[in-house]
Amino acid sequence: MKTVILGNGIIALSVAFRLAMRSSENDEIIVAGPTTRTGSATLAAGAMLNSFAEIEAGSLESELDLYRFELSHLATRMWPKFEKEIIEAAGSSLPYGCSKCQGFPGGGCVDIGTYVVNNTAADDLDDENYDAIVAALDAFDEPFKHVSPRDIPNYMPEQRHRATRALYIPNEGWFNPRLMLEKLDAALAKHPSVKFIDSPVDRLEKSGLQIDTAILENGQRLSADHFILATGATVSHVLNKSDLGIEIQRIFYGVGVSIEIQSPEFPHTKCIRTPNRGLACGIYTVPYFTNPDGPNDHILLGASNYLSPTPIHGGKISSVESILNAAIQQVNFNFYRANLVRVNVGWRPTSQDTYPLLGKTSYSNLIILSGTKRDGFHMSPVISEKVVAMLYGEPIDERFEVFSPERKPIRALTRKEAIAKAVRHQISANYQHGFNPAQNRMPAQLAEMYQDGLERLHDQVGAIDWGIPPEMLDMYRYGHALS
């Protein structure tokens, strides 16, 4: 079997890895993608393995969302074995950063233990989402404990931004995604069935009901039995150039900034984060393991989310400013003395309906994997396992078809729910960015103003019996998303 995998982020490489582990002598696996990895979401990621800490009020109410959560929960359980397999396969080729790795957890670039803090930096949407996390932890019997914010290691927020409640989830962890990609690159590079090509794909060519060739930007033409398009946020761009005559909802660029700092006097040992808020993931601060010999004093601060129809290379200055301020004010005021190591800009692949696009297409040998938005790193062991089963014609849970790339956009929210949620998140975002209302009816008036604007937008785009996902509002407003 010859498989061409287009893309070289966590999704593409984890599929390549699982395929390589099952391959026999005559199999070929080609991974094509630029080694620069411009806009890679993976390299900018936290990369937190969160299921419960990501829960929001109302986010587990539909069967679809419960299924997505089930997969997320499964991913957490799959990571230790998956990581061990990668370490074993890389063997003596492990990169320096992983050279003394003890595996999962706590052996190197991966560790577990997440504190969720409920502070007053934004508005009471945080309280609702925090309550939803607690309710889910209880409902699913997930180990956790309520803790005093004062007992959280390296947690020293400014007085006005201190938490009133906090909890600790021992099983939710994080990776250094750079080391993970280096590790996967190393394991794949030494495998006899795998070949890397340092070039983006330009387009795909069809022949009847099959994809015939992937044409790379360097002019190379690749034929194969199977093609896997996993180029992250650029998937729609490649499909538009390919003219395959299939309808696949658009993937947008969820431009996210994260910031790596070095904090020698105030290093983190655990992840500290808020609940999701204001159309994004709140503020999080994650220990960032870099090498086995130096002090473990790097921390990743994240993250912003700015949705765009086209790539944005530099990120927004305002994103950098608000992440730094939030980390200093809400996690540890001593971070003002830390050293800046790097600002990452990654493009979260975000579909129009905000659910992932994962699976086969009308072309029997084309699989598309994108739209993983905020949790593609965490989900990669599950996604790669399903994809390899698809390639080998093995049965997979039929519920997974809900993510079929050619589906009509899922309309998960009613108009009323979507508008209520959007108003709530927009006001939460305002508070995060320093909103200080006058002592009159201003908050209520603002909510009414948002509500009126959102009703008009829904009318304009014909969203009468369905609701626009709140993070997609601008994409509908400016005509980038089609009804």
Ligand X SMILES: Cc1cc2nc3c(=O)[nH]c(=O)nc-3n(C[C@H](O)[C@H](O)[C@H](O)COP(=O)(O)OP(=O)(O)OC[C@H]3O[C@@H](n4cnc5c(N)ncnc54)[C@H](O)[C@@H]3O)c2cc1C
Rounded to 10 deg, the angle between the 10-22 and 63-90 helix axes is: 60
Maximum Cα interatomic distance, the chain, rounded to a whole number of Å: 74
Nearer to ligand X, 328 or 382 (CB): 382
User: Which one-letter amino acid corresponds to residue 259?
Assistant: I
Nearer to ligand X, 97 or 232 (CB): 232
Nearer to ligand X, 6 or 20 (CB): 6
Bridge partners (DSSP) listed for residue 4 = 30, 227
Give the distance, in angstroms, between the CA of residue 423 and the centroid of all CA atoms in the same chain. Answer: 24
Nearer to ligand X, 41 or 367 (CB): 41
Which residues are at the interface with ligand X (CB under 6 A)? 6-12, 32-34, 37-38, 40-42, 44-48, 200-201, 230-232, 234, 238, 256, 258, 302-303, 346-349, 370, 372-378
Token pair for 344: 């990452």
CB of 373 to ligand X, least distance (A): 6
Token pair for 352: 């129009």
Collapse the DSSP code of 286 into the 3-class scheme (helix H, G, I; strand E, B; otherwise coil) and give the result.
Answer: strand
Residues 9/383, Cβ–Cβ less than 8 Å: no
CB of 230 to ligand X, least distance (A): 6
Which helix or strand (DSSP H or E) is residue 462 part of?
none
Nearer to ligand X, 49 or 338 (CB): 49
Single out the residue of 348, 346, 347, 393 nearest to residue 367, CA to CA.
393
Label the pairing between strands 163-175 and 110-119. Answer: antiparallel
Token pair for 3: 């498989």
CB of 219 to ligand X, least distance (A): 14
CB of 280 to ligand X, least distance (A): 10
CB of 378 to ligand X, least distance (A): 3
Residues 78/382, Cβ–Cβ less than 8 Å: yes
Own/partner long-range contacts of 420-425 (Cβ < 8 Å, ≥24 apart) = 421/58, 421/467, 421/470, 422/450, 422/454, 422/468, 422/470, 422/473, 423/447, 423/450, 423/451, 423/454, 424/125, 425/125, 425/277, 425/278, 425/279, 425/470
CB of 343 to ligand X, least distance (A): 10
- How far apart (Å, rounded) are the C-alpha atoms in residues 466 and 352? 14
Give the distance, in angstroms, between the CA of residue 305 and the centroid of all CA atoms in the same chain. Answer: 11
- How far apart (Å, rounded) are the C-alpha atoms in residues 81 and 84? 5
Nearer to ligand X, 344 or 454 (CB): 344
What count of Cα atoms within 13 Å lies in the side-chain half-sphere of residue 74?
14
Token pair for 191: 């495998």
Nearer to ligand X, 8 or 119 (CB): 8
- Whether the link from the prior residue into 303 is cis, omega within 30° of 0, is yes
Nearer to ligand X, 354 or 463 (CB): 354
Token pair for 418: 């979507």
CB of 256 to ligand X, least distance (A): 3
CB of 217 to ligand X, least distance (A): 7
Token pair for 222: 């690749």
* Size of the chain in residues: 483
Token pair for 30: 């080609």
Token pair for 424: 């709530």
Nearer to ligand X, 368 or 454 (CB): 368
CB of 115 to ligand X, least distance (A): 15
CB of 46 to ligand X, least distance (A): 3
Nearer to ligand X, 234 or 432 (CB): 234
Nearer to ligand X, 256 or 469 (CB): 256
- Whether the link from the prior residue into 214 is cis, omega within 30° of 0, is no
CB of 316 to ligand X, least distance (A): 12
Nearer to ligand X, 370 or 432 (CB): 370
CB of 299 to ligand X, least distance (A): 14
